[in-house]
């Protein structure tokens, strides 16, 4: 029932938003973008992957089975001029990946489930086009730092006992685009973001010749978001 109500609510929002694209709409929230400071929140989905750099390009690659996760967070926006805004978008993100390591006959050794909960702190610049009626396209980009609460970085166990470890702190950048849609009561902004970690997130196993991590030179997160912003 909760899922149904959420879906119906989102459907009504989208229907109201799409009505703003008609030829001569009544302009909504005409002073919305003139504020020095603006606040909001976002909800969305993500799909995270890993990019591996290997020491020796011999044999099969590690496989990553991706699944959809969710994001939620807040927005603080500082107006720079008519077309540029600085944004701080702290949020919480949950994602899950399953790694498949080649060369094992036992399923317990071949697969590792990686569940990650990130607290993210993105600092972004939003560049918008001129407003057309009740909609306005934009692009956004910037840097972020994140804390992985499920990293297990300090664990003494490793893959030999079934524990896959990652570093707690991650740094990277994100790029995206979207549309601001001005409804009667709020600004609704769907967007798509690509995220790319710059730092190696792998904590190697204690054995330097580990069959799980011995051939990995670096492991970095990459993925995308679909965010729905309400301001």
Residue 1 has pLDDT above 60, yes or no: no
Report the candidate in 144, 134, 190, 186 with the shortest Cα–Cα distance to residue 169. Answer: 144
Task: Pull the structure tokens for residue 9.
Answer: 């609510």
Please say whether the beta carbons of 85 and 105 come within 8 A: no
Report the candidate in 213, 220, 21 with the shortest Cα–Cα distance to residue 112. Answer: 213
pLDDT band at 151 (very low <50, low <70, confident <90, very high): very high
- Identify the three-state secondary structure at position 15: helix
How far CA 38 is from CA of 16, 102, 127, 185, in Å, comes to 22, 50, 15, 15
Domains of the chain in start order, with CATH, are 2-230 (2.40.160.20)
CA atoms within 13 A on the CB side of 3: 0
pLDDT band at 33 (very low <50, low <70, confident <90, very high): confident
Please name the helix (run of DSSP H) or strand (run of DSSP E) that holds residue 190, with its range, or none: strand 187-197
pTM score of the predicted model: 0.81
pLDDT at position 25 is 66
The Cα 216–Cα 62 span in angstroms is: 10
pLDDT band at 8 (very low <50, low <70, confident <90, very high): very low
pLDDT at position 60 is 83
For residue range 160-219, what is the model confidence (pLDDT) as tens digits?
999 999 999 999 999 999 999 998 889 999 999 999 999 999 999 999 999 999 999 999
The Cα 38–Cα 130 span in angstroms is: 18
∠ at Cα 71 (129, 157), nearest 5°?
135
pLDDT mean across residues, the chain: 88
For residue range 73-119, what is the model confidence (pLDDT) as tens digits?
999 999 999 899 999 999 999 999 999 999 888 989 999 999 999 99
pLDDT at position 34 is 82
pLDDT at position 184 is 86
Please say whether the beta carbons of 226 and 190 come within 8 A: yes
pLDDT at position 7 is 43
Residue 5 has pLDDT above 60, yes or no: no
Across 10-14, 62-66, 213-217, least confident range: 10-14
Please say whether the beta carbons of 167 and 151 come within 8 A: yes
The Cα 99–Cα 113 span in angstroms is: 6
Query: Helical H runs in the chain?
Result: 2-18, 107-110
Please say whether the beta carbons of 63 and 99 come within 8 A: yes
pLDDT at position 132 is 87
Q: What is the CA radius of gyration of the chain?
A: 21
How many CB atoms are located within 10 Å of the residue 203 CB? 20
pLDDT at position 30 is 78
């Amino acid at each position: 029932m909760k899922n149904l109500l959420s879906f119906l609510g989102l459907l009504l929002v989208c229907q109201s938003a799409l009505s703003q694209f008609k030829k001569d709409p009544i302009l909504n929230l005409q002073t919305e973008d003139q504020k020095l400071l603006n606040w909001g929140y976002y909800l969305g989905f993500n799909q995270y992957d890993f990019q591996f750099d290997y020491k020796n390009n011999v044999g099969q690659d590690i496989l990553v089975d991706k699944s959809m996760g969710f994001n939620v967070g807040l927005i603080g926006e500082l107006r720079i001029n008519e077309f540029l805004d600085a944004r701080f978008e702290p949020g919480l993100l949950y994602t899950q990946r399953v790694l498949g390591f080649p060369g094992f006959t036992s399923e317990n050794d071949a697969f590792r489930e990686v569940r990650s909960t990130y607290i993210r702190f993105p600092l972004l610049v939003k560049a918008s086009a001129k407003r057309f009626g009740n909609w306005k396209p934009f692009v956004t980009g910037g840097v972020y730092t994140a804390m992985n609460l499920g990293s297990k970085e300090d664990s003494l166990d490793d893959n030999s006992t079934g524990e896959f470890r990652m570093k707690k702190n991650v740094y990277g950048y994100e790029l995206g685009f979207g549309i601001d849609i001005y409804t009667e009561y709020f600004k609704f902004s769907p967007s798509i973001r690509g995220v790319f970690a710059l730092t190696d997130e792998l904590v190697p196993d204690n054995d330097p010749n580990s069959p799980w991590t011995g051939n990995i030179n670096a492991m970095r997160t990459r993925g995308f978001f679909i965010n729905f912003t309400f301001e």
